[in-house]
Chain A
Amino acid sequence: MTNKNHAEVAIIGGGIVGCAIAYYVSKAGIDCMLIEKGDLASGTSSRCDGNISIVDKDPGFDSLMSLASQELTAELEKDLNLPFEYRSLGSILVCDNDAEMEVAKQWVNIQNQAGLKFKLLDRTDIRQESPYFADDIPGGLECETDSLINPYLFCYSLIDKAKQYGLKLHTRAEVKLVSKKGDFLIETTKGNFTAKKIVNAAGVWSPFIGKMLDIEIPIKPRKGHIMVGGRQKPIIMRNVMEFGYLMNKFQRERIADSKTLKHGVALVLEPTESQNFLIGSSRQFVGFDARIDYDVVQTMARRALRFFPKLDDFNMIRTYTGFRPWTEDHLPIISEVEEVPGFYIAAGHEGDGISLATITGKLIEEMITEKETTISIEPLRYDRFNKNAVTM
């Protein structure tokens, strides 16, 4: 008989990353529990959009990791029982000006050389995507393999299946203290648990868990706003972002007005299966202040109207904010921590948590079972930040 309060592996955090880890680890036949302070998907994973995309990734390791995740997600569509609104239609990026169009051309070449399915789109192609686009958009690009999901339904679906494999789920159990004497002791608001290994998948809150074991985790909250447009007329079939999104994300120089730059605003428009649509995005470092900032929302609306001027009479029904777990080099930490054997970190995905959750779950499972990993985990190591500090 298995003990309800003990497991081989305890995952802390019931967001999309923790849920994916729970799925792969329990599927591998390992005794596993997930501890979450609120409900499943009650943090960043229900305050985001649902892109599983390569279109916004840096060519190289970043984009190949996303491709691996896309392939795994397509398998999950068949393997999981509860539907999660998977739509595999590709996605597009649109350019604001000719200068961006030039960079987009290079971008498509680099991604194609890496074996990814990218295609340059001209003015006519863009107009065929949506009748609501502005006439002066010079073009853009398409990534064929991108898809959309509903992130919180995906979490529910992963956990539903993981439970069939034996996962023990403890929600509304906030971790207060973690210590290690042989096994890990995890003290929570819902009682104490023990485990041989811990995976810290607490996303933007993972530094708090790290601190309990004297491990400093360099992740900061990067706030984002999203507006929800109500069900009206279909605008576009698939996700669209503007090229400037990449510039913001990677903190590169971009031509735009001062407020757009200040709030890190770039257009993202995602049609949802409920026939609403989401408009993003913003990027700010303001700690954990979750309040809606009207100035940011106004800037986002203006940016959306630059690309979709004919949406001016479409009604917005909600706005919300979420916190992306940001790291300095825009890659997550998926790593064992040498200082504390048996302690793993799977966090810091910034805005790529939805895209990279499945590959993250798979990698942690492979690390725990000491198998060869699907992709190299060298660039994801926890100690890379310390190394940088020494060489700087």
Chain B
Amino acid sequence: MDKVIICRCEEVDLEEIKETISKYQCSAREIKLRTRAGMGYCGGRTCRPALNAIVAEISGEKLRHEIPLKIQPPIRPVSLGKIGG
């Protein structure tokens, strides 16, 4: 189970996330920065709910209504030429 990949873009598995949480007792955002989980091509749109849930389960931190991990624009990757267009 620990070898299961949570963040596919940056290839971060459950084990690495669990170890980081227990070592630093940190928030979902800090887990993201320390492991790069959620920082890849999809911008965390795939793994964010999983990451939040793992942090909530291990740290006992309640899932709040406000979003612990923000999603930044654009909604999907877009070329520099189109943005400049």
| A residues at B contact (CB < 8 Å) | 39-42, 46, 152-153, 156, 227, 229-231, 274, 279, 292, 297-298, 301-302, 304-305, 311-320
Closest CB-CB distance, A36 to chain B, in whole Å? 12
User: Looking at the complex, which one of A39, A311, A316 makes contact with B27 (CB distance below 8 Å)?
Assistant: A39
Closest CB-CB distance, B34 to chain A, in whole Å? 7
Interface string of B13-40 (1 = CB under 8 A from A): 0000000000000110110011010011
> Is the beta-carbon distance between A292 and B81 smaller than 8 angstroms?
no
Closest CB-CB distance, A381 to chain B, in whole Å? 35
Interface of B is mostly: loop
> Is the beta-carbon distance between A42 and B29 smaller than 8 angstroms?
yes
> Is the beta-carbon distance between B43 and A312 smaller than 8 angstroms?
no
Interface of A is mostly: mixed
> Is the beta-carbon distance between B77 and A315 smaller than 8 angstroms?
yes
Q: Inside 8 A of A40's CB, which chain B residues have their CB?
A: 30
Interface string of B42-85 (1 = CB under 8 A from A): 01000000000000000000000000000011100111110111
Count A-B pairs with CB separation below 8 Å. 73
Given contacts A311-B80, A314-B79, A315-B79, 16 further A-B contacts (CB under 8 A): A39-B29, A40-B30, A41-B33, A42-B29, A152-B33, A153-B33, A227-B80, A230-B41, A298-B83, A301-B80, A313-B80, A315-B41, A317-B41, A317-B43, A319-B74, A320-B72
CA distance A136 to B81 in the complex (A): 19
> Is the beta-carbon distance between A274 and B39 smaller than 8 angstroms?
yes
CA distance A302 to B81 in the complex (A): 8
> Is the beta-carbon distance between B34 and A156 smaller than 8 angstroms?
yes
CA distance A246 to B85 in the complex (A): 26
- Size bracket of the B interface: 20 to 34
Name 11 interchain pairs, CB-CB below 8 A, sorted by A. A39-B27, A156-B34, A274-B39, A292-B72, A292-B73, A301-B80, A302-B84, A313-B79, A314-B79, A317-B41, A318-B72
Q: Inside 8 A of B34's CB, which chain A residues have their CB?
A: 156
Of B41, B73, B74, B83, chain A has the most CB atoms within 10 Å of the CB of: B83
Of A292, A301, A304, chain B has the most CB atoms within 10 Å of the CB of: A301
> Is the beta-carbon distance between B77 and A317 smaller than 8 angstroms?
yes
User: Looking at the complex, which one of A39, A229, A274, A313 makes contact with B81 (CB distance below 8 Å)?
Assistant: A313
Closest CB-CB distance, B32 to chain A, in whole Å? 10
> Is the beta-carbon distance between B80 and A304 smaller than 8 angstroms?
yes
> Is the beta-carbon distance between A319 and B73 smaller than 8 angstroms?
yes
Q: Inside 8 A of A315's CB, which chain B residues have their CB?
A: 41, 77-80
User: Looking at the complex, which one of B10, B29, B41, B72 makes contact with A319 (CB distance below 8 Å)?
Assistant: B72
Q: Inside 8 A of A229's CB, which chain B residues have their CB?
A: 80
Q: Inside 8 A of A297's CB, which chain B residues have their CB?
A: 83
CA distance A156 to B73 in the complex (A): 26
> Is the beta-carbon distance between A316 and B41 smaller than 8 angstroms?
no
Closest to A306 in B: B84
Closest to B44 in A: A318
CA distance A46 to B81 in the complex (A): 27
Closest to B27 in A: A39
> Is the beta-carbon distance between B30 and A316 smaller than 8 angstroms?
no
> Is the beta-carbon distance between B41 and A231 smaller than 8 angstroms?
yes
User: Looking at the complex, which one of A39, A46, A314 makes contact with B80 (CB distance below 8 Å)?
Assistant: A314
Q: Inside 8 A of A279's CB, which chain B residues have their CB?
A: 80
Q: Inside 8 A of B81's CB, which chain A residues have their CB?
A: 301, 305, 312-313
> Is the beta-carbon distance between B80 and A316 smaller than 8 angstroms?
yes
Closest to B42 in A: A317
Closest to A301 in B: B84
Q: Sorted from nearest, which 3 A-B pairs have the closest CB atoms?
A: A312-B81, A301-B84, A315-B77
Q: Inside 8 A of B74's CB, which chain A residues have their CB?
A: 316-319
CA distance A227 to B85 in the complex (A): 15
Closest to B39 in A: A274
CA distance A232 to B77 in the complex (A): 12
Closest CB-CB distance, A346 to chain B, in whole Å? 23
CA distance A219 to B45 in the complex (A): 36
> Is the beta-carbon distance between B80 and A318 smaller than 8 angstroms?
no
Closest CB-CB distance, A391 to chain B, in whole Å? 45
Asked, given contacts A39-B29, A297-B83, whether A318 binds B43 with beta carbons under 8 Å apart, the answer is yes
